[in-house]
């Protein structure tokens, strides 16, 4: 991977000196590419670069090798390590090994889940938060939302991601949809993960409790906006 300041020639990722006080303030994908052509969002264009702005005015570009793409809608700015500054959570796909959820900061790679292990296998993020109130941050996604429909929750701890729970029969994306549905909500009783059931016919709210996932049906139909706005119990 390569780290580029602006659009000038760059150095290997992690070797570019940055101001100690610079924080990430914005991020977006760049350099459209068709080298993968999976088409989960209804087209065959993915992204080769991750561009992000820093609080000191610099714009940096992280460029993936030709064997990987960002198979995603947009990077997510989240404080994973609890230091008050955001990191970037992204879906990064290897052309041979499929997708993984990866975290980058202003200096480069931080941590990632394992690649799914097979080409044209993808994951759809749900959100990032302290899901069980233990002071550590969890990252949730649906592993293979069109096939396995498996909710997986990982905890960022000691600089790495450790899986803490799984639940079957849940999804947040249909093949060809241009967006990822659902997400996280807190209606006053703690964070919940909002997804659909495997048939895309009912909304489901899931919590991380005591190292396991507890799920309940919220409503018939899939009005994600109403659920996320706490208009559905």
pLDDT digits (tens, 9 = 90+) for 86-142: 999 999 999 999 999 999 999 999 999 999 999 999 999 999 999 999 999 999 999
Average pLDDT for residues 73-94, to the nearest whole number? 97
Percentage of residues in the chain having pLDDT higher than 90: 89
pLDDT in tens, 47-59: 999 999 999 999 9
* Assigned token pair, 3: 């780290």
* Assigned token pair, 47: 């992204």
* pLDDT recorded at residue 21: 72
User: How far is Cα 207 from Cα 210, in angstroms, rounded to an integer?
Assistant: 10
Global pTM?
0.91
Q: Which of 1-15, 76-90, 116-130 has the lowest mean pLDDT?
A: 1-15
Determine contact, residues 73/180, Cβ cutoff 8 Å: yes
Determine contact, residues 69/93, Cβ cutoff 8 Å: yes
pLDDT over 80 (residue 3): no
* pLDDT recorded at residue 7: 39
* pLDDT recorded at residue 4: 54
Average pLDDT for residues 142-160, to the nearest whole number? 98
pLDDT category of residue 5 using cuts at 50, 70 and 90: low
Q: Which residues contact 8 (CB under 8 A, 6 or more apart)?
A: none
pLDDT over 80 (residue 175): yes
pLDDT over 60 (residue 228): yes
* pLDDT recorded at residue 16: 45
Mean of the per-residue pLDDT values of the chain: 92
pLDDT category of residue 1 using cuts at 50, 70 and 90: low
Residue 6 CA: distances (Å) to CA of 16, 60, 158: 12, 5, 32
* pLDDT recorded at residue 218: 96
Residue 126 CA: distances (Å) to CA of 2, 17, 51, 66, 131: 28, 33, 22, 27, 12
């Amino acid at each position: 991977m390569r780290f580029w300041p602006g659009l000038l020639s760059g150095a290997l990722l992690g070797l570019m000196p940055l101001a100690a006080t610079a924080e990430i303030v914005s991020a977006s994908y760049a350099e459209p590419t068709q080298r993968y052509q999976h088409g989960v969002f209804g087209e065959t264009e993915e992204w080769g670069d991750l561009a992000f702005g820093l609080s000191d005015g610099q714009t940096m570009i992280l460029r993936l090798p030709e064997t990987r793409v960002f198979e995603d809608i947009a990077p997510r700015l989240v404080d994973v390590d609890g230091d008050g500054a955001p990191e970037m959570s992204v879906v990064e796909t290897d052309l041979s090994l499929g997708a993984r959820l990866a975290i980058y900061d202003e200096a480069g790679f931080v941590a990632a889940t394992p690649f799914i292990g097979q080409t044209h296998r993808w994951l759809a993020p749900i959100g990032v938060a302290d899901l069980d109130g233990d002071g550590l941050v969890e990252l949730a996604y649906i592993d293979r939302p069109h096939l396995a429909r498996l909710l997986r929750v990982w905890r960022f701890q000691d600089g790495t991601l450790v899986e803490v729970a799984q639940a079957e029969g849940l999804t947040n994306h249909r093949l060809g949809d241009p967006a990822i549905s659902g997400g996280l909500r807190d209606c006053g009783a703690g964070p919940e993960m909002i997804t659909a059931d495997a048939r895309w016919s009912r909304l489901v709210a899931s919590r991380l409790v005591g190292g396991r996932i507890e799920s309940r049906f919220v409503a018939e139909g899939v009005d994600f906006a109403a659920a996320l706005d706490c208009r559905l119990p």
